[in-house]
Chains A and B, each alone.
Chain A
Amino acid sequence: MPQLIPTPWLALLIFSWTIFTAIVLPKVLKHSFPDNPTLPSKQNLSKNKWDWSWH
């Protein structure tokens, strides 16, 4: 069976891992998944008012 011929075994193994780590991993790493945008709520604005308490 051709898959059992030992000559290209190590070369194929190392080549596939090399391409996997050199090309595929960086491409997948660059994908980013930003959070979904949320609507601003009016209640939060009023609670976060800053009062200059020392003046």
Chain B
Amino acid sequence: MTLSLFDQFLSPVVCWIPLVAIAIMLPWVLFPSPTTRWVNNRNLTSQNWFLGQSTSQIFLPINPGGHKWAILLSSLLIFLTTMNTAGLLPYTFTPTSQLSINMGFAGALWMGIVILGMRTQPTHSLGHLLPEGAPAMLTPVLVIIETISLFIRPIALGVRLTANLTAGHLLIQLTSTATLALLTIMPVTAILTGVLLFLLALLEAAVALIQAYVFILLLSLYLQENV
């Protein structure tokens, strides 16, 4: 019975259409492409403003050479935010709860950043394996630890997003099942559980936005080290 609670994360197929495909392709209808007009409509103007603000915030601490990554990271931010928030709607599938999708983005981008750093400035990139101000005696240990932490990064990036979204959706399913089951037996407890469900939904909305932002922020930090 407990294992069946994870069934919501199985890639669903309805009438031979994998719902993952619809979940990934449909939300872009909400983001119209900007026209060549001088002034666009309110929807486009507000999206333009958010995009510009978030991109400038993320790329403030990065060297100008790293600003080529702006298009990649800002569009990934929009991708992840949209996928996360769209998955909060009932009966939708959250693509970013799948390890395959998150590891695909995390691993590929991390590897690109590390290879970029190693090719353009190898000494500077390898210098990050020994933090400044560390005692000389600890150098061998620190280098080993920092190397391990370097290779853990893509796994941590992907699994962080997956685990946060999976746990959130699981909690929502559990509390909603509990609320419905208790409604006839213990109504007051059911109301309390309903309040808990409401608060959880608010938390999940926040988590959806924050986790997408954290993903991009960490990638920008890794870029800052390597560019």
Binding site for B on A (CB under 8 A): 1-5, 8-10, 12-13, 15-17, 19-20, 23-33
* Chain A interface mostly: helix
Out of B34, B71, B78, B101, name the residue touching A16 (CB < 8 Å): B101
Task: Give A25 to B11 CA distance when docked, in angstroms.
Answer: 25
Question: Which residues of B sit under 8 angstroms from A28, Cβ to Cβ?
Answer: 51, 71, 74-75, 78
The closest CB in chain A to the CB of B166 belongs to: A3
Interface size on B, residues (CB 8 A): 37
Contact between A8 and B100 (Cβ–Cβ < 8 Å)? Answer: yes
B residues near A (Cβ < 8 Å) are 6-7, 9-11, 18, 20-21, 24-25, 28, 31, 33-34, 47-48, 51-52, 71-72, 74-76, 78-79, 95, 97-101, 103-105, 108, 162, 166
A3 CA to B100 CA, complexed, in Å: 8
- Kindly provide the distance from the CB of A24 to the nearest chain B CB, expressed in whole angstroms: 5
Say yes or no: B48 contacts A27, CB within 8 Å. no
Instruction: Specify the main secondary structure of chain B where it touches its partner.
Output: helix
Q: Are B76 and A20 in contact (CB under 8 A)?
A: yes
Assembled-state Cα–Cα distance A9/B104 (Å): 9
Does B6 lie within 8 Å of A2, measured CB to CB?
yes
Cross-chain contact B75 with A25 (CB below 8 angstroms): yes
Q: Are B48 and A31 in contact (CB under 8 A)?
A: yes
Q: Are B9 and A24 in contact (CB under 8 A)?
A: no
**A24 touching B28, Cβ below 8 Å:** yes
Q: Is the CB of A1 within 8 A of B6?
A: yes
Q: Is the CB of B33 within 8 A of A26?
A: yes
Cα A33 to Cα B49 in complex, Å, equals 9
| A10 contacts across to B, CB distance below 8 A | 100
